[in-house]
Chains A and B, each alone.
Chain A
Amino acid sequence: MIFLLYIDPGSGSYLVQVIVAAVLGIAFFFRNIKNYIKAFFYRSPKKPDDKSEA
């Protein structure tokens, strides 16, 4: 395990957020389409972007 003591611990998180956000952008794009289709067929009262599970 390598601990990089001389780099700002936040700097890598800067880059990872850009990558994570890109992946999420794609994932949420397809999720929204899925929810939209579901809502169309099932006439669900749920809004397409409703994520509440609890």
Chain B
Amino acid sequence: MPNSFTPHPSSFRDPSGFIFEKDGVLYRQVNEIFKEDFDFFVSSGYYAKLVKQGLLIPHETIQENLTSSSDYYLTLKPETISLISYPFEWSFDMLRDAALLTLQLLKESIAHGMVLKDATPYNIQWHNGKLIFIDSLSFEKYDEEKPWIAYRQFCENFLSPLLLMHYSKLPLQQLHLAYLEGIPLAITKSLLPWRSKFSLHTYLHIHLHAKVSGKESTANNRTAKFSKQKLVNLISSLETLVTKLKTPGQQTAWSAYYNEAAQRDDYLDRKTEIIQGWLTKLTEVKTAIDFGANDGMFSKLLASNNIKTIATDFDPICINNLYKDIKSKKEEKIQPIILDISNPSPSIGVNNTERIAFLKRAKVDLAIALAVIHHLAIGKNISFEQVADSFQQVCNCLIIEFVPKTDGKIQLMLNNKKDIYNNYTEENFTQAFSHYFKIEEKFPVGSSGRVLYLMKKHG
């Protein structure tokens, strides 16, 4: 079929164009209806400027109607994003930087006679070590008399979660899962403490906004004129507010993990040595996931071997610290993601296909799971078979550390719970993993009693 293509399940809201897949390649079609705005965006030099500044994903223009649709104007082939991630997987600082990027783009757009017509974190993705805007059809010609069409979207998608996290000092990323189109202002308003009304910017953008937008619009509302200066003030106010917000919590139960682990004889040195030895041999490995990355020590080892690594941890503070570290060091090969292996992000949205489940999205050459198995098997009563099944869905190769029951950490866990884990043996572990993987090599890690395994998926 010459014209077979699959429209992307998340690309249906905007009539300006859509994303589709053809022969395994992702394209974006610009529709005839958006011709004028898109031509202005490119011909004014604004597109080139944003790409040069590293704020927008670059694309190639393809003069071919790959979808055979009647409203076709242009086909774009954007640079490939290695792993699409969602705001419920981002840490506080990541979401805040995404909000600031949106405001920066809006400000620049106004200076170029354009405006951002939407403000959703789903238009921002991780690309080569930083967050970047990916929707090249979000820029339209600016009418100075009109207020910002995406103002409410910005407040619900960025301000609401950031303010709730700031005031509660809790990691509430998961709210994005419940409210796919942003946390409704009425809900944010009720959840924020009373004192938040004393912050001018919070009062205006959340409390007053919630109150006024609950009222029906009248013809007068629509005719009230806006101006460029008013929009500039609005952006300035949003920027001041977002910049002032404080990251909830810097310390975590895990933050001292490596300091403590390093003191255990030669444990970390030996572990690094074994893994480095394997990485040198695994030349086919180009992409990896680090499950339980903590401060990213082993993700950095993978990155130093030129492997693009997704560093995951269920602890939002660990991931936030790692994000700040990556940002300051301009580390391009590590993508930080909040992920609980025992409850990975599900498929949600329209037809449950709009945002894709993590295990379906992430496909890598290698997964590493160091000192993780006991947290799943003993901490959460998950069977070895289930853990092996999770890992085999995303990788071809697996480096996994087995922690024996005699280990001090497991004994600590068992202090407060009944030992019902008779099946927690190395023999059962290897048997369960052998169902999906072939065990290639194993090494004891120094005198710790722990064992590192290198496995490859069958077939």
* Residue tally, chain A, CB below 8 Å to B: 27
Interface pairs (25), CB distance under 8 Å: A1-B187, A1-B190, A2-B186, A2-B214, A3-B184, A10-B152, A12-B209, A12-B213, A12-B214, A12-B215, A13-B209, A14-B224, A15-B212, A15-B213, A15-B217, A15-B224, A17-B148, A17-B226, A19-B208, A20-B205, A21-B147, A21-B233, A24-B236, A28-B236, A53-B244
| A 33-51 to B, binary, CB cutoff 8 A, 1 in contact else 0 | 0000000000000000001
A16 touches B213 (CB 8 A): yes
**Chain B interface helix/strand/loop/mixed:** helix
Contact of A18 among B147, B190, B215 (CB under 8 A): B147
Interface members, chain B 169-223 (any A CB < 8 Å): 184, 186-187, 190, 200, 204-205, 208-209, 212-217, 221-222
A2–B380 Cα gap in the complex (Å)?
40
| Tally of contacts, chain A with chain B, CB under 8 A | 96
Residues of B within 8 A of A2 (CB): 186, 214
Question: Is B151 on the interface with A (CB-CB < 8 A)?
Answer: yes
B243: Cβ under 8 A from any A Cβ = yes
B352 to chain A minimum Cβ distance, whole angstroms, is 23
Q: Is B11 an interface residue (CB 8 A)?
A: no
> Roughly how many angstroms separate A18 CA and B216 CA in the complex, as a whole number?
15
Complexed CA–CA distance, A53 and B266 (Å): 45
Check A27 against B212 for contact (C-beta < 8 Å). no
**B217 near A17: Cβ-Cβ < 8 Å:** no
Chain A residue with Cβ nearest B203? A23
Cα of A3 to Cα of B224 in the assembled complex, Å: 25
Residues of A within 8 A of B149 (CB): 10
* Alpha-carbon separation in the docked complex, A2 to B200 (Å): 25
Give min CB distance, A3 to chain B, whole Å: 7
- In Å, the complex CA distance between A16 and B186 comes to 14
Min CB gap B209→A, angstroms? 5
**Interface contact A7-B216, CB-CB below 8 Å:** yes
Q: Is the CB of A13 within 8 A of B204?
A: no
A12-B212, A13-B152 known, 17 other contacts, Cβ within 8 Å: A4-B216, A7-B217, A11-B217, A11-B222, A13-B147, A13-B151, A15-B221, A16-B209, A16-B213, A17-B147, A17-B151, A17-B230, A17-B234, A18-B221, A20-B208, A24-B234, A28-B236
Give complex CA distance A12, B21 in Å: 37
Minimum CB–CB distance for A35 against chain B, Å: 13
The 7 closest A-B pairs by CB, nearest first: A12-B213, A11-B217, A21-B230, A17-B147, A13-B152, A16-B212, A15-B221
A8–B216 Cα gap in the complex (Å)?
Answer: 9
Name the CB-closest residue of A to B227: A21
Known contacts A9-B152, A14-B147, A15-B221; decide if A21 and B214 are in contact (CB<8 Å): no
- Which residues on B sit within 8 Å (CB–CB) of A14? 147, 217, 221-222, 224
Q: Are A53 and B243 CB-contacts (below 8 A) given A10-B152, A20-B208?
A: yes
Which listed residue (B187, B204, B226) contacts A24, Cβ 8 A? B204
Choose among B187, B229, B236 the residue that contacts A51 (Cβ–Cβ < 8 A): B236
The CA of A10 and the CA of B222, in the complex, are separated in Å by 11
Most B C-beta atoms less than 10 A away, residue of A20, A24, A25, A51:
A20
Q: Kindly report which residue of chain B lies nearest to residue A16, judged by CB atoms.
A: B212
Q: Is B428 an interface residue (CB 8 A)?
A: no
B224 near A20 (CB under 8 angstroms)? no
Chain B 225-248 near chain A by CB (<8 Å), digits 1 or 0: 010011101101101100110000
Closest chain B CB from A46 CB (angstroms): 15
When C-beta atoms are compared, the residue in chain B nearest to A28 turns out to be B233
Cβ contact within 8 Å between B209 and A20 = yes
Let me know if B243 and A25 touch, CB within 8 A: no
Bound together, the chains give a CA A1 to CA B184 distance in angstroms of: 11
Residue of A nearest to B222 (CB): A14
Residues of B within 8 A of A15 (CB): 212-213, 215, 217, 221, 224
List chain A residues, Cβ under 8 A from B236. Answer: 24, 28, 51
A20 and B204 CA atoms in complex are apart in Å by 6
| Known contacts A12-B217, A14-B147, A16-B212: A23-B152 contact under CB 8 Å | no
Contacts A4-B214, A13-B213 given: A24-B186 contact, CB under 8 Å? no
Q: How far is the CA of A24 from the CA of B229 in the complex (A)?
A: 11
Q: How far is the CA of A48 from the CA of B155 in the complex (A)?
A: 28
Distance in angstroms from A53 CB to nearest chain B CB is: 6
Is the beta-carbon distance between B204 and A8 smaller than 8 angstroms?
A: no
Residue of A nearest to B230 (CB): A21
- Residue of B whose beta carbon sits closest to that of A10: B152
Shortest CB distance B289–A (Å): 32
Q: Give complex CA distance A9, B186 in Å.
A: 12
In the complex formed, the residue of A with least CB distance to B218 is: A15
Contact A27 B200 (CB under 8 A): yes
